[in-house]
Amino acid sequence: MTKKTIVVTGGAGFIGSNFVYYMLNKYPDYRIVCVDCLTYAGNLSTLKTALENPNFRFEKLNICDYDAIKNLFEEEKPDIVVNFAAESHVDRSIKNPDIFVKTNISGTQTLMDVCRELNVPRFHQVSTDEVYGDLPLDRPDLFFTEKTPVHASSPYSASKAGADLLVLAYYRTFNFPATISRCSNNYGPYHFPEKLIPLMIINALNDKPLPVYGDGKNVRDWLYVEDHCKAIDLIIHSNKLGEVYNVGGHNEMANIDIVKLILGKLKKPESLITFVEDRKGHDRRYAIDPTKIHDELGWLPETKFADGIEKTIDWYLNNKSWWEEIISGEYKNYYSKMYGEN
Ligand code: NAD
Ligand code: TYD
């Protein structure tokens, strides 16, 4: 494999950091340059082992800062830029949409403008299945394909959809060499405690109430984070440009079933479950049809949910200091504002 320099934006967050480790392990000759401005969701301790690798560089930069990004790219001459950097939590987007538009839309545009200016040969946008809106619960025969119209429900998904449209417009207008992946819900190590699976694991471990929105019947299509990393690896090493790929492993589960499964694994009582007010505009069901990425690039998910959730729970049990540091800091204020004094 020819040596490459890959810029990973948002590499101090959940999926970006898993991608950093995946790439450092798989391609020992590659240079991985992480760009992250370390918002509440970015954590340098996540990258502790990567920082010891001479092929890894970390730069604390905002993707909206054109000059700083341009200086870095001039120096590093990336072969590929993979954009994970984003505001990623639906509940926060309902409270404060502004930063979602800035980072997710303007940040993506800024990165693409620098890439165009410097003729970076390849750009990949990490998007989400949430851009398609939702599916009804009573139509299990329906799935999101790449042809499903974009129909976002939350400020988060609308901002991701806006970025996707810009990427496709840059491809059409400027022949900008880009691809997009739209993945379903990920789970695994380094998942920030505000999201469903880590939140429920951590609350259960601390014998705190588990807040389930609405009736708990909303369905998500869960994929182990490493399978998502493998999909992105395949896309960026393919010769496909201007394409969108849906990524998902046909693993639909209702929230309440996930919560009960976690309680069962941790031997905690179901009486910890507390039904709370529903999320505004709450999407009912996400379900990905991954036929295109399978047929064109040979991608298939490798980790079954039963194994992935086991590995994930073990990771949270074995890495208490990672999440204890987070939940004892600024996150405490977020939690009490969001869920009351639980
Ligand atoms: P995350 O919130 O855990 O991490 C986001 C990272 O981006 C953080 O490290 C943060 O510091 C950084 N960041 C935020 N704003 C930035 C800015 N302006 N400049 C530089 N860095 C900035 O998110 P995640 O769950 O790892 O998601 C990564 C990407 O994958 C996002 O684009 C998200 O939309 C997409 N995605 C996530 C999921 C999921 O289930 N989590 C599923 C599909 C797609
Ligand atoms: P989340 O992890 O925020 O991902 P997304 O909304 O992007 O799919 O939420 C997953 C599902 O879990 C979603 O239907 C909302 C629900 N949920 C709860 O029921 N309680 C919670 O405390 C959280 C954070 C989420």
Q: pLDDT tens for residues 263-272? A: 999 999 999 9
Q: Is 185 in the pocket of ligand 1 (CB under 6 A)?
A: yes
Residues 217-268 pLDDT 10s: 999 999 999 999 999 999 999 999 999 999 999 999 999 999 999 999 999 9
| Token reading at 278 | 């529903």
Residue 196 lies in a domain: no
Residue 301's pLDDT is 98
Residue 319 lies in a domain: no
3-state secondary structure of 48: helix
Averaged confidence pLDDT in the chain: 97
Which atom, in ligand 1's list, is nearest to the CA of 191? 3
Residue 157 lies in a domain: yes
CA atoms within 13 A on the CB side of 30: 24
DSSP conformation class of 181: E
Query: In the chain, at which residue ranges do the beta strands (DSSP E only) sit?
Result: 5-9, 31-35, 56-59, 80-83, 123-128, 178-183, 186-187, 210-213, 219-221, 223-224, 244-247, 252-254, 273-276
Q: Which domain holds residue 59?
A: 5-187+224-249+282-302
Residue 290's pLDDT is 98
Residue 110 lies in a domain: yes
Q: What is the dihedral of CA 279, 94, 68, 111, to 10 degrees?
A: 70
Query: Does the structure show a pLDDT above 70 at 341?
Result: no
Query: Does the structure show a pLDDT above 70 at 1?
Result: no
Q: Report d(CA 261, CA 258) in Å as an integer.
A: 5
- Mean pLDDT, range 124-148, rounded to an integer: 98
pTM above 0.95, yes or no: yes
Residue 179 lies in a domain: yes
Q: Report how far ligand 2's centroid is from the alpha carbon of 322 (Å).
A: 21
Largest CA distance in the chain: 57
Q: Report how far ligand 2's centroid is from the alpha carbon of 53 (Å).
A: 35
Residue 329's pLDDT is 86
CB atoms within 10 A of CB 321: 9
Q: Report how far ligand 2's centroid is from the alpha carbon of 129 (Å).
A: 14
Nearest CA to ligand 2 atom 10: 196
Structurally, the chain folds into a number of domains equal to 1
Q: Report d(CA 274, CA 259) in Å as an integer.
A: 11
| Spatial contact of 44 and 12, defined as CB atoms under 8 Å apart | yes
CATH code of the domain containing 31: 3.40.50.720
